[in-house]
């Protein structure tokens, strides 16, 4: 089984993604996650380029790695400067990283236009930089920047760049599709040709996704002989991103039979989620392999087929990479979808097909009104309980009122604060009517507090419930401010998480219904 090296550059190239700003703490956490996953190389940053990256390399001694090797990134020396006097190379040589990746120009156009130097001087820069770092005890990887564009325009010069880097002692020659415009058939052709030009060299690929081909190009490079693939978790990176390791790793290991992560591949989804959380990004649900929708089935025909044999509509077993199969309930749902969804119910069991027909009919009626239960499992289970007359009557909602007062207006005429939002709720528990009033930061918070206050004496566990996410979706924008809205809430008691939904033309009413479902489900979880 051939080994393919995984080189992660989430902390350097991925950090250049719009909206991502890693702190030192963030980078250290990600290094530990990647090491636990088992990637071969972790590019931690560019020593000396900024204080943050310098601090990362100063703290390397604090990290005990089990599987990965830390790599420092930088460039060749500047034109007409001695290697031993170049600040970039000095910082790389003084870093605690034992492996250094330096990039150099392999496109004659860039040498002349970006570096403003001669082609011969560029070759000297590459040669002397690699030799200097090796003399300081470093192992060197060479990134041939813009290689495929250079190969197309001036093949002989691009090849000379690789030959110089190889002769100087670079352990890996990485061909970079820096602008992300190459096609996978051309990538394969170039790698295949290079096997004859430099038969004893070891090649890698560094692809960008500007043509949505970074994954395909990386796979083509491996087919052509590459032994190393560079990329980022979740495809983070500048512009359209880098090659997505979360797609490349399972494809190479599970479908091509290469050695990459071994049994640790089951940690892939969790790692993708954790790094997305650290990056303060929502994990795209439609990402192949690791997205929450990657193995989600909505159409009744699909659900029925998967229920009989998962291979009917799934290309791999999701459990192999730590994902899970999901069955969505909607107007397109059939009996199979509801049956599969019901397997995960905690508090109710569907007994027969007549009950399923009732549930599907209720789903279609509510979705016509704007409800969506795909991401609201708790509300869906409560719906099933209610439809089958098995819903626990822990409390009954009788009404609510919200009053806002003393709004502060700034010099632009905009509301900047509402100092008082008061909410009152009326509920019934065991025949007793309870009426409470509370204040909060806005109407939703005030309602939430008032409802919990009304329930606390009978159900003190409500104090443990917390709203961990709150989303509002306008369902029909043409109605303007009178449009229906759908409010989705994620709640937690510190151990469990559950999702609920509410719909109304009144955003406060929609919120209140979602909150009420959330509290009801939480109480059922607590055994009330």
Q: How far apart are CA 495 and CA 500, in angstroms?
A: 17
**Four-point Cα dihedral 378, 384, 387, 391, nearest 10:** -60
302 given a catalytic annotation: yes
Residue with tokens 């000396």: 48
**Is-contact 149 109, C-beta < 8 A?**
yes
Strand residues in 268-377 grouped as ranges (E): 296-297, 326-327
Q: How far apart are CA 8 and CA 69, in angstroms?
A: 10
Which candidate in 110, 302, 315, 435 is catalytic?
Answer: 302
Residue with tokens 């009517």: 433
One-character DSSP codes across 47-91? TTTSHHHHHHHHTGGG---SS-EEEEEEEPPPTTS-GGG-HHHHH
Q: How far apart are CA 223 and CA 203, in angstroms?
A: 12
Which residues is 208 bridged to in the sheet?
Answer: 242
Q: Is 229 helix (H, G, I), strand (E, B) or coil?
A: strand
Q: How far apart are CA 264 and CA 266, in angstroms?
A: 5
437's tokens: 């009033």
Q: How far apart are CA 245 and CA 226, in angstroms?
A: 15
Q: How far apart are CA 380 and CA 378, in angstroms?
A: 5
Query: Residue 196, class by beta-carbon neighbours within 10 Å (0-12 exposed, 13-18 middle, 19+ buried)?
Result: exposed
**Is-contact 38 68, C-beta < 8 A?**
yes
Query: Residue 158, class by beta-carbon neighbours within 10 Å (0-12 exposed, 13-18 middle, 19+ buried)?
Result: buried
Q: How far apart are CA 188 and CA 176, in angstroms?
A: 13
**Is-contact 186 153, C-beta < 8 A?**
no
From the list 254, 214, 349, 281, the residue with the least C-alpha distance to 20 is: 281
Annotated active-site positions, please?
A: 302
């Amino acid at each position: 089984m051939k080994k393919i090296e995984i080189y992660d550059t989430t902390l350097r190239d991925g950090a250049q993604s719009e909206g991502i700003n890693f702190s030192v703490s963030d980078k250290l956490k990600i290094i530990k996650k990647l090491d636990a996953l088992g990637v071969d190389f972790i590019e931690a940053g560019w020593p000396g380029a900024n204080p943050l990256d310098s601090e990362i390399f100063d703290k390397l001694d604090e990290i005990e790695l089990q599987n990965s090797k830390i790599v420092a990134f930088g460039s060749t020396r500047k034109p007409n400067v001695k290697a031993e006097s170049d600040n970039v190379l000095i910082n790389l040589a003084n870093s605690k990283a034992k492996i250094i990746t330096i990039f150099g120009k392999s496109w004659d156009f860039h040498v002349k236009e970006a570096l403003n130097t001669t082609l011969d001087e560029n070759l000297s820069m590459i040669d002397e930089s690699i030799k200097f770092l090796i003399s300081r005890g470093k192992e060197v990887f060479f990134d041939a920047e813009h290689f495929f564009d250079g190969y197309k325009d001036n093949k002989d010069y691009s090849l000379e760049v690789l030959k110089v880097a190889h002769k100087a002692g670079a352990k890996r020659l990485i061909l970079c599709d820096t602008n992300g415009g190459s096609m996978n058939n051309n990538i394969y052709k170039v790698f295949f040709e290079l096997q004859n030009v430099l038969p004893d060299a070891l090649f890698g690929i560094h692809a960008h996704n500007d043509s949505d081909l970074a994954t395909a190009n990386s796979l083509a490079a491996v087919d052509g002989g590459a032994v190393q693939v560079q990329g980022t978790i979740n495809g983070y990176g500048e512009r359209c991103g880098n090659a997505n390791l979360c797609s490349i790793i399972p494809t190479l290991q599970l479908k091509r039979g290469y050695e990459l992560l071994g049994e640790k591949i089951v940690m892939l989804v969790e790692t993708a989620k954790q790094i997305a959380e650290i990056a303060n990004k929502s994990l795209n649900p439609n990402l192949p392999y690791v997205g929450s929708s990657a193995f989600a089935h909505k159409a009744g025909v699909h659900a029925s087929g998967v229920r009989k044999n998962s291979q009917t509509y799934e290309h791999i077993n999701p459990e192999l990479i730590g994902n899970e199969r999901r069955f969505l309930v909607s107007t397109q749902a059939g009996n199979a979808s509801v049956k599969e969804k019901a397997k995960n119910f905690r508090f109710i069991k569907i007994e027969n097909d007549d009950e399923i027909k009732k549930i599907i009919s209720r789903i279609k009626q509510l979705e016509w009104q704007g409800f969506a239960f795909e991401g609201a499992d708790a509300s869906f289970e409560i719906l099933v309980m209610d439809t089958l007359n098995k819903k626990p009557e822990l409390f009954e909602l009788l009404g609510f009122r919200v009053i806002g007062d003393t709004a502060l207006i700034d010099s632009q005429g905009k509301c900047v604060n509402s100092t008082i939002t008061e909410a009152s709720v009326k509920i019934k528990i065991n025949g007793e009517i309870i009426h409470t009033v509370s204040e909060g930061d806005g109407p939703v918070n005030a309602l939430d507090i008032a409802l919990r206050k009304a329930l606390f004496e009978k159900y003190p566990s409500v104090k443990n419930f917390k709203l961990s996410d709150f989303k509002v979706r306008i369902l029909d924008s043409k109605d303007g401010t009178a449009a229906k809205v759908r409010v989705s809430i994620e709640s937690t008691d510190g151990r469990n998480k559950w999702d609920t939904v509410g719909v109304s033309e009144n955003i406060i009413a929609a919120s209140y219904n979602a909150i009420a479902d959330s509290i009801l489900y939480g109480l059922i979880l607590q055994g009330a």
